[in-house]
Amino acid sequence: MIENGQLSIVGIGPGHFDHISPAALRAIQEADVVVGYRTYMLLVRALIKDKETIKTGMTEEISRARGAVERAKQGGKVVIISSGDAGVYGMANLVFEVLRDMGWKRGDSPDIHIIPGITALNSCASLVGAPLGHDSCMISLSDLLTPWPIIERRIEAAASSDFVIGLYNPASGRRQRQIVRAQEIIKTYRPGTTPVALVKSAYRFRQDVTQTDLDHMLDFEIGMLTTVLIGNSNTYMYEGYMVTPRGYHNKYQLDGQILEGQTPGESLNLDNLVNFAPSIEVQ
Amino acid sequence: MIENGQLSIVGIGPGHFDHISPAALRAIQEADVVVGYRTYMLLVRALIKDKETIKTGMTEEISRARGAVERAKQGGKVVIISSGDAGVYGMANLVFEVLRDMGWKRGDSPDIHIIPGITALNSCASLVGAPLGHDSCMISLSDLLTPWPIIERRIEAAASSDFVIGLYNPASGRRQRQIVRAQEIIKTYRPGTTPVALVKSAYRFRQDVTQTDLDHMLDFEIGMLTTVLIGNSNTYMYEGYMVTPRGYHNKYQLDGQILEGQTPGESLNLDNLVNFAPSIEVQ
């Protein structure tokens, strides 16, 4: 019996070796073949210089996924890499789509392994403070594969229910109107002073971080390598840091003292919200 | 002039050394003092055995953050750890809240560093397939600090606009009704057959993964250590994997061939969605 090939779907995080997991590093080091988009392959070039590689361009995701599956099927260790987390708008779902199209069953070659990574939402947030202190969402503004009305409806839902919003793929050379429309929708629910961070190439050579607000975010360059972080109604700027509070001030003084009418370990008592500035109406 | 102390806010990922970043590892190794919740300190005990440590219980977040800031202010290298990403419902935002309460200004001791980690959404997703292939959100069901009506409104918004939903802190010993209500709300928008994964203690000793669906998710144990992943209307189960497609099938055949009426690199042409099963109505 011939041994199954191994296909590892690996997220390399933002792209700096300080932020790639040991499991991801090891998978790449032990691979016979490494498959990926050219830019990401450059980020890990020190690890792959003596290996067989399959590099493809940006719009060639399907052939990349299919190539990786077919190569792994033959045997050996194949790694397909994505930046960030391979599951988040990455190669993981596409590999499964291709496997299904090929009629692959569990037990068939290749075996599949998925290695998580730090996605842009988290790596970018760490560069600007603590914007993800409360409920957040990720929305891709790319309408190349998703009908724009669906994307718009998600922006509207997230804005109206006060999620912290992370926008992936906000714009590209020829795709500019989506971010304009996103700002317009979000502004109908949040003040123009809402903190916004634009993070380009987090932890990479040309890293660029801009702190701005909802009114002024379009005054800055927003492109393919930018992640846009938009605060919720409680997010504030403090000494250059963007902070979304979890809500400790609803229940405690910041020396740990409990507020009157509140009980530790129990649901927040809504009749005693002395420090509370309601962002959305509470019945 | 006395050198400023350093406070690093570090996310250790799911808790296994395979998935903690080199930057996080190094920060802990180089620290003079490590501060954290007991359980998380146990996860990194091999790294901290000769160090000064401040361990606190689960409801003592404020004193933990304050203790870390005050210790770092005196000088030396202090690390405060969270599991996952320290910015996601973690210690990062609370540290800033405490700093603000203390009147800290940039340039004052301590200097602040934030090191990102793999959050539960991503680590749990990697154990079940590729559920995060499209827009997703994180919602904490804990109403200890957040008014329940705000949480409920976010669940409703996410469900109605077809986000993949990751529920953090879904239940605890005394907090059981929130997950019941969440299921009820989501079921008004999605079929009972929608794939759901319950992931407990991802990459830790007692890891447990359950694949179920929206109708049956409450038949299984859901507790403090569980993350609940709920698919969107396009998520499917395939050979035991949970997969949310990005939408390549809207534009391409899975051999890479472009579909009639579609153009690579351009917005999806809504008049030619031959393979498209609309999840929410497209105008």
Which two three-digit tokens encode residue A135? Answer: 């409920």
Q: How confident is the model at residue A173 (pLDDT cuts 50, 70, 90)?
A: confident
Compute the distance between CA of residue A240 and CA of residue A58 in angstroms, rounded to an integer. 35
pLDDT tens digits along A184-229: 999 999 999 999 999 999 999 999 999 999 999 999 999 999 999 9
Nearest by CB to residue A96, choosing from B122, B243, B251, is B243
Q: Is A231 on the interface with B (CB under 8 A)?
A: no
Compute the distance between CA of residue B90 and CA of residue B11 in angstroms, rounded to an integer. 8
Between CA B140 and CA B63, with CA B89 as vertex, the angle to 5 degrees is 125
Question: What is the amino acid identity at position B5?
Answer: G
Count of helix runs (H) and strand runs (E) in chain A: 8, 13
CB neighbour class for B109 (10 Å; exposed up to 12, middle 13-18, buried from 19): middle
What residues of B are in contact with residue A20 (Cβ under 8 Å)? Answer: 21-22
* Lookup result for tokens 């917005």: B267
Min Cα distance A221 → chain B (Å) is 21
Compute the distance between CA of residue B87 and CA of residue B157 in angstroms, rounded to an integer. 23
Length in residues, chain B: 283
What residues of A are in contact with residue B252 (Cβ under 8 Å)? Answer: 62
Min Cα distance A233 → chain B (Å) is 12
The H-assigned helical ranges of B74-132 are: 91-101, 120-128
Using a cut of 0.90, tell me whether the model's pTM lies above it. Answer: yes
pLDDT for residue A278: 47
What phi and psi values does residue A72 have, to the nearest 5 degrees? -70, -35
Compute the distance between CA of residue A192 and CA of residue A214 in angstroms, rounded to an integer. 5
CB–CB of B137 and A138 under 8 A?
Answer: yes
Q: Is B83 on the interface with A (CB under 8 A)?
A: no
Predicted ipTM of the assembly: 0.95
Q: Is B195 on the interface with A (CB under 8 A)?
A: no
- The answer to whether A191 touches A214, Cβ cutoff 8 Å, is yes
Segment A106-116 mean pLDDT: 97
> How many CB atoms lie under 10 A from the CB of residue A96?
27
pLDDT for residue A42: 87
- Distances from the Cα of B215 to the Cα of A55, B179, B187, angstroms: 43, 13, 8
Segment A89-116 mean pLDDT: 96
What phi and psi values does residue A229 have, to the nearest 5 degrees? -110, 120
HSE toward the beta carbon, residue B111, CA cutoff 13 A: 8
pLDDT tens digits along B65-118: 999 999 999 999 999 999 999 999 989 999 999 999 999 999 999 999 999 999
Strands B136-140 and B164-168, bridge-based pairing: parallel
pLDDT for residue B275: 53
- The answer to whether A61 touches A19, Cβ cutoff 8 Å, is no
Cis before B191 (ω within 30): no
pLDDT < 50: residue spans in chain B = 278, 281-283
Tell which of B134, B167, B168 to mutate to test the A interface (max A CBs under 10 Å).
B134
pLDDT for residue B195: 98
Query: What distance, in Å, lies between the first and last C-alpha atoms of chain B?
Result: 65
Q: Is B274 on the interface with A (CB under 8 A)?
A: no
What phi and psi values does residue A12 have, to the nearest 5 degrees? -95, 5
- The answer to whether A26 touches B16, Cβ cutoff 8 Å, is no
